[in-house]
């Protein structure tokens, strides 16, 4: 189970508004999809307001039905094929891709992040069509968003993440998750899992995203859905990394993909076919979404090259983290020239002013129309903008307003060039967002003087932004300190297990999820048999040593999704999400057998201990989480009365009998 981010902390991060989140039509689609009584025609009407999303939705639907079937051509048919949950998640994913394709962390390669995520999405869908591990439309969204925690961290803390990426580039032996945890009190795997859960992704998806981010090794049972989804995502992420990897890295990734394919019972032929089909579809998606992509050689040729490569040079067992593909280390450079965007349609005048500014040591980029101007404001991130009023007269009267609504545009110094700069012109210019106006034809000396004034204003904006960044950094450090204090307050210092307070908090969250998704939830209470005798006979130091060893046995017998807490001197609580009574009984038996079979050693002393366990599973007679725990506590008392070293459950011994 993914370690939880403190719920209060996560809500604070969400409330800040800095987390990647859907915007515009995508947000309307998501809200509408959450309504129980929404109709297909109503949803189709909202979707049709975004032609770009219409094309993406229809393409996704055609990918689900496979080849040889009548192609989907309408929004209504696409909705029928995909269903509301998948449409909701696709709207989320495509909105994030559109709105977060660039950012302020220079060391993070945003283009590679989205390109590799798209390839992973396509691969998960194609694998699921073969393995049936999950619905192809839903798992496509998982592939696209599985690494969202990486994007979220660099969005929240661009400077700090940049420093971490530089450290990793300088020393590849460092562990990124550990560096993030020390710096932020959380890592991208934890944050990503929390975001996916908050967006309503199924637990099996959030767990797969977390597991694939931390390691390719897992202990999910053979044949389980968790294992199939996680291995699917691991193979898909390796495919995404291959699509953006350098030639030197492809050998490692090719071998890794074949190994991961074997986990899914895919032979070399099947894996080769999947990869080639993925690359073909990925290139189509990249064109549709305007994402960078370069064609790859066939997987068969990559495999052949990998086989011929010296094994010592490219070890087949080498791990490759998908995040490595998003590192883009930029060395610290000397202070750059002020950047000016010059937007005017007249080529002759534009060229003359561009030369004037370049001679005055400005870095200049030019745009000839309103669309190019808005695009360059976002991509080029200028310090100042010079814009000709002719562009406003050519249907771009809201251009300044649009620019001011962008993140970059809020602090941009805007100088408007006008043919007749009278009072009415100035008032309108200032109302629309201009900072200064200059009359045409432009006087070179006056233009440079006004730009110098704008340069001072721009510098003040930059200083203010640096101050804000320092405050955000301080707030992040304070949040980390608070998180660590909270963790100390919620962790039992002797065993390292969560205490009852943290357990109840998580139990309430799981109860709500169980109610919402109609999934089973079980609870186990553990009592160490005759533990007081150990303390009385050998003293508290031996007792503490014995207790820690018993806890190790308990921990080793738990499944990944289970949570255990110490609630008393020798009492423990175990929460088992998505677990019916039979599976909970089996889990309890593993715990009992693990403790009974453990050799407890303290100095010259060797002991054998046992535990009694009470099991309770949610049913219609249990109204809340407290009642579920009380039922398990009642069951463990029955087990102790019946002779200890055994398991009792509430179905066998209901209260009052």
CATH number at residue 595: 3.30.70.270
Mean pLDDT along residues 630-638 = 93
| Same domain for 162 and 92 | no
Average pLDDT, the chain: 81
- Predicted confidence at residue 15, as pLDDT, reads 64
My answer on whether 114 and 94 are in the same domain is no
487 located within any domain: no
If asked whether residues 620 and 558 sit together in one domain, one would say yes
**pTM > 0.75:** no
Q: Give residue 582's domain range.
A: 500-649
Nearest CA-CA partner of 406 in 313, 341, 362: 341
Decide which of 99, 129, 155 is a domain's last residue: 99
pLDDT for 332 equals 42
Which domain CATH number covers 178? 1.10.3210.10
Same domain, 555 and 583: yes
Q: Do 160 and 270 belong to one domain?
A: yes
Mode of pairing for the β-strands spanning 521-528 and 611-617: antiparallel
d(CA 301, CA 253): 13
Domain end, chosen from 308, 333, 358, is at 333
> Do 176 and 81 fall into the same domain?
no
Domain identity same for 408 and 456 = yes
Is residue 316 pLDDT above 50, yes or no?
Answer: no
- Alpha-carbon 376 to chain mean position: 28
The secondary structure of residue 645, as a DSSP letter, is: S
Integer Cα distance of 263 and 256 in angstroms:
11
More confident residue, 13 or 155: 155
Q: What is the DSSP code (8-state) at residue 322? A: G
pLDDT of residue 334: 44
Of 98, 95, 108, the closest CA to residue 154 belongs to: 108
- pLDDT greater than 80 at residue 613: yes
Whether 128 and 121 have beta carbons less than 8 Å apart is answered as no
Q: Mark whether 557 and 458 lie in a shared domain.
A: no
Confidence of residue 651 (pLDDT cuts 50, 70, 90): low
pLDDT in tens, 318-371: 445 565 556 554 444 444 678 899 988 888 888 999 999 988 889 898 988 887
1 part of a folded domain: no
Total count of domains within the chain: 4
My answer on whether 71 and 216 are in the same domain is: no
Coil, strand or helix at 387: strand
Average pLDDT over every residue of 423-433: 86
| Confidence check: pLDDT of 591 > 90 | yes
User: Do 129 and 276 share a domain, yes or no?
Assistant: yes
Distance CA 615, CA 527 (A): 12
Mean local confidence (pLDDT), 92-114: 84
Q: Kindly report the CATH number assigned to the domain that includes residue 450.
A: 3.40.50.2300
**Looking at residues 65-88, what average pLDDT do you find?**
69
Q: What are phi and psi of 572, to 5 degrees?
A: -140, 150
The answer to whether residue 141 sits within a structural domain is yes
Tally the residues of the chain: 657
User: Which pLDDT belongs to residue 391?
Assistant: 81
Please indicate, yes or no, whether residues 18 and 75 belong to a single structural domain of this protein. yes
Is there a single domain that holds both residue 300 and residue 356?
no
In a domain, 411, yes or no: yes
pLDDT of residue 652: 60
Cβ atoms of 192 and 214 within 8 Å: the answer is no
Percent of the chain with pLDDT over 70: 83
pLDDT bucket at 531, cuts 50 / 70 / 90: very high
């Amino acid at each position: 189970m993914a370690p939880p981010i403190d719920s209060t902390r996560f809500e604070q991060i969400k409330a800040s508004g800095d987390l990647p989140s859907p915007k515009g039509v995508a947000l309307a689609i998501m809200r509408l999809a959450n309504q129980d009584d929404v109709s297909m025609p109503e949803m189709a009407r909202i979707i049709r307001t975004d032609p770009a999303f219409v094309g993406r939705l229809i393409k996704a639907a055609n990918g689900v039905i496979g080849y040889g079937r009548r192609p989907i051509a309408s929004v209504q048919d696409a909705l029928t094929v995909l269903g509301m949950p998948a449409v909701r998640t696709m709207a989320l994913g495509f909105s994030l891709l559109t709105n977060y394709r660039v950012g302020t962390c220079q060391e993070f390669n945003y283009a590679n992040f989205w390109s590799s995520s798209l390839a992973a999405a396509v691969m998960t869908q194609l694998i699921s069509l073969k393995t049936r591990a999950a619905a192809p439309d839903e798992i496509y969204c998982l592939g696209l968003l599985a690494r969202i925690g990486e994007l979220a961290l660099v969005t929240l803390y661009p400077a700090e993440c940049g420093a971490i990426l530089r450290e990793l580039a300088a020393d590849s032996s460092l562990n990124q998750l550990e560096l993030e945890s020390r710096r932020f009190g959380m890592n991208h795997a934890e944050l990503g899992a929390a975001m996916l859960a908050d967006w309503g992704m199924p637990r099996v998806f959030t767990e797969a995203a977390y597991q694939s981010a931390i390691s390719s090794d897992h202990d999910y049972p053979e044949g389980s859905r968790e294992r199939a989804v996680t291995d699917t995502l691991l193979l898909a992420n390796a495919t995404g990394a291959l699509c953006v990897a350098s030639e030197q890295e492809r050998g490692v990734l090719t071998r890794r993909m074949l190994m991961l394919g074997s986990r899914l019972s895919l032979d070399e032929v099947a894996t080769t076919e999947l990869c080639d089909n993925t690359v073909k579809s990925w290139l189509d998606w990249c064109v549709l979404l305007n994402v960078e992509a370069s064609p790859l050689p066939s997987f068969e040729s990559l495999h052949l090259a990998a086989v011929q490569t010296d094994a010592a040079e490219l070890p087949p067992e080498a791990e490759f983290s998908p995040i490595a593909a998003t590192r883009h280390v930029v060395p610290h450079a000397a202070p750059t020239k002020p950047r000016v965007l010059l937007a005017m349609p007249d080529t002759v005048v534009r060229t003359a002013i561009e030369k004037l500014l370049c001679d005055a040591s400005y870095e200049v980029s030019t745009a000839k129309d309103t669309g190019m101007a808005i695009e360059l404001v976002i991509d080029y991130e200028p310090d100042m903008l010079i814009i000709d009023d002719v562009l406003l007269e050519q249907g771009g009267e809201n251009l300044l307003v649009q620019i001011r609504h962008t993140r970059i545009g809020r602090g941009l110094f805007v100088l408007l060039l006008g043919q007749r700069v009278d009072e009415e012109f100035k008032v309108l210019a200032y109302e629309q967002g201009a900072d200064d106006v200059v009359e045409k034809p432009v006087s070179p000396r006056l233009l440079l003087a006004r730009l110098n004034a704008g340069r001072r204003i721009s510098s003040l904006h930059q200083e203010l932004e640096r101050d804000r960044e320092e405050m955000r950094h301080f707030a992040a450090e304070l949040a980390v300190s608070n998180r660590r204090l909270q963790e100390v307050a919620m962790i039992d210092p002797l065993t390292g297990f969560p205490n009852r307070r943290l357990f109840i908090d998580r139990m309430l969250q799981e109860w709500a999820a169980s109610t919402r998704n109609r999934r089973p939830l079980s609870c186990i209470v553990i009592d160490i048999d005759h533990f007081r005798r150990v303390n009385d006979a050998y003293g508290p130091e031996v007792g503490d040593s014995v207790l820690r060893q018993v806890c190790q046995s308990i921990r080793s017998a738990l499944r990944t999704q289970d949570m255990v807490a110490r609630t008393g001197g020798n009492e423990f609580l175990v929460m088992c999400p998505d677990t019916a009574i039979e599976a909970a009984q089996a889990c309890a038996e593993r715990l009992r057998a693990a403790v009974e079979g453990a050799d407890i050693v303290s100095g010259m002393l060797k002991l054998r201990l046992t535990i009694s366990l009470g099991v309770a599973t949610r049913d219609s007679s249990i109204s809340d989480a407290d009642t579920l725990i009380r039922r398990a506590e009642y069951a463990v008392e029955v087990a102790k009365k019946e002779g200890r070293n055994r398991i009792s459950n509430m179905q066998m011994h209901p209260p009052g009998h």
